[in-house]
């Protein structure tokens, strides 16, 4: 992305347009620069664009913009939907995926195998202990932990993932130039420096306004293969996230707690509504049919070839036949057979009944 395009994105994202509205503008004009250069008459042809929105775009057109230092130095990057690093779950699961994301750190291919952990900002010692136990089990299975970077359960989930050498991604309800909560600044730095990522769809200096958090929760719900709720009052952001996950067809799990603890009432309500009751991370792995190898059996892996990487990228947790894998990877079936054998030997793939294969995390 060249500097002019980056500046145009920076300006447009500062307007706080919804993902749908921003996406419609990019689709209509092809690029953020073209949006800023469009006439008011052309802008009026975009559905649901208000006169106030047009005025805001025109005001930005000739305003100078100074990119934040972290962006200038490449510490924070902007990735768009068309780029390979953009998280596939967001693009595939959401009706309104963010057209662009600010990223501090790195998003890895394996992050599409993730579980979202959410809960109260004021957990009990039981909630903290359960979160630590669940996250440890999930990280050992190779799953990435997704959460919102908030105080409480979110913080424990991120910290535990780091302590166990796992990957974690924090999706914030503020801009990366206004990290929230401020008490977690050091944690966010550790996530980014460990190889994980801190992400926001909002303008770089967007403040942590209340409306942003429920909107942000759809990203947490859409990214994880499942959403796990650990201690949450009935009216809380964690419950909103779980509801969205269910609407998206994602698995929803809840951890039971004391009937006398108000922070468990939301979890119990979810279980009554059909969420899976889980008592350990292994319950989640079993429900998701995730196969993982014990650490002591994992070999020292060499670098994979480009062809092996391509094949690995289309393997997932659902059994797939050879012909389907060959089609998705755009490879001859005989080559897929050979490379699958190699991936099996490396402990990265497993043969299942009926001549199908799954990815091993």
Q: What is the pLDDT of residues 332-342, one digit of tens each?
A: 988 888 889 88
Q: How far apart are CA 46 and CA 17, in angstroms?
A: 13
Report the share of the chain in percent with pLDDT over 90.
Answer: 73
Query: How deeply is 182 buried, as exposed, middle or buried, from its count of CB atoms within 10 A (0-12, 13-18, 19+)?
Result: exposed
pLDDT score for 298:
43
CATH architecture of 90-287: 3-Layer(aba) Sandwich (3.40)
Q: Return the H-helix or E-strand segment holding 227.
A: strand 226-230
- pLDDT band for position 346 (50/70/90)? confident
pLDDT in tens, 231-265: 998 889 999 999 999 999 999 999 999 888 888 99
Extended strands (E) in 106-196:
114-119, 144-147, 168-171
At residue 304, the pLDDT reads 83
Adjacent-strand bridge partners of 62: none
Q: What is the H or E stretch that residue 357 is in?
A: strand 356-359
Per-residue pLDDT tens over the stretch 197-231: 999 999 999 999 999 999 999 999 999 999 999 99
Q: Is the pLDDT of residue 294 over 70?
A: no
Write the class of the CATH domain 296-359: mainly alpha
Q: What is the pLDDT of residues 74-116, one digit of tens each?
A: 999 999 998 889 999 999 999 999 999 999 999 998 999 999 9
Calculate mean pLDDT across residues 309-336: 87
What is the rounded distance in angstroms from the CA atom of residue 4 to the CA atom of residue 218?
Answer: 30
The whole-number average pLDDT for the span 176-201 is 97
pTM of the model: 0.82
- Note the CATH number of domain 3-67: 1.10.150
Domain residue limits, the chain: 3-67, 90-287, 296-359
Percent of the chain past pLDDT 70, that is, above it, reads 96
Strand pairing report for 168-171 and 197-200: parallel
Residue 302 confidence class, pLDDT cut points 50, 70, 90: low
pLDDT computed for residue 348 by the predictor: 86
Instruction: Give me the pLDDT at residue 291, please.
Output: 65
Q: In what order do the strands lie in the sheet with 356-359?
A: 320-321, 356-359, 349-352
């Amino acid at each position: 992305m060249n500097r002019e395009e980056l500046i145009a994105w920076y300006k447009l994202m500062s307007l706080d347009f919804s993902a749908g509205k921003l996406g419609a503008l990019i689709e209509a004009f092809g690029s953020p620069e073209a949006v800023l250069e469009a006439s008011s008459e052309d802008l009026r042809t975009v559905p649901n664009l208000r006169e106030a929105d047009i005025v805001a775009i025109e005001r930005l057109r000739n305003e100078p913009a100074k990119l934040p230092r972290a962006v200038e130095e490449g510490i924070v990057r902007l990735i768009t939907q068309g780029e390979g690093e953009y998280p596939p779950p967001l693009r595939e699961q959401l009706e309104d995926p963010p057209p662009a994301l600010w990223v501090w750190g790195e998003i890895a291919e394996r992050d599409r195998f993730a579980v979202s952990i959410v809960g109260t900002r004021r957990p009990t010692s039981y909630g903290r202990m359960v979160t630590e136990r669940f996250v440890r089990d999930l990280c050992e299975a190779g799953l990435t932990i997704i959460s919102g970077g908030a105080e409480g359960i979110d913080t424990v989930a991120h910290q535990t993932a780091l302590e166990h050498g796992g990957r974690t991604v924090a999706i914030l309800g503020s801009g990366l130039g206004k990290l929230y909560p401020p008490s977690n600044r050091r944690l966010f730095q550790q996530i980014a420096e460990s190889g994980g990522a801190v992400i926001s769809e909002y303008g770089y200096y967007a403040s942590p306004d209340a409306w942003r958090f429920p909107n942000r929760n759809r990203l947490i719900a859409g990214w994880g293969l499942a959403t796990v709720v650990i201690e949450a009052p009935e009216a809380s952001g964690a419950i909103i996230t779980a509801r969205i996950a269910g609407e998206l067809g994602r698995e929803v799990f809840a951890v039971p707690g004391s009937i006398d603890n108000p922070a468990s009432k939301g979890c119990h309500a979810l279980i009554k509504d059909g969420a899976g009751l889980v008592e350990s991370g292994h319950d989640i792995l079993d429900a998701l049919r995730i196969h993982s190898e014990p650490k002591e059996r994992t070999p020292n892996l060499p670098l994979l070839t480009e062809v092996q990487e391509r094949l690995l990228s289309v393997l997932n947790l659902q059994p797939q036949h050879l012909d389907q894998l060959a089609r998705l990877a755009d490879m001859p079936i005989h080559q897929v057979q050979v490379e699958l054998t190699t991936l099996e030997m490396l402990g990265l793939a497993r043969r299942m009944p009926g001549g199908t294969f799954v990815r091993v995390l």
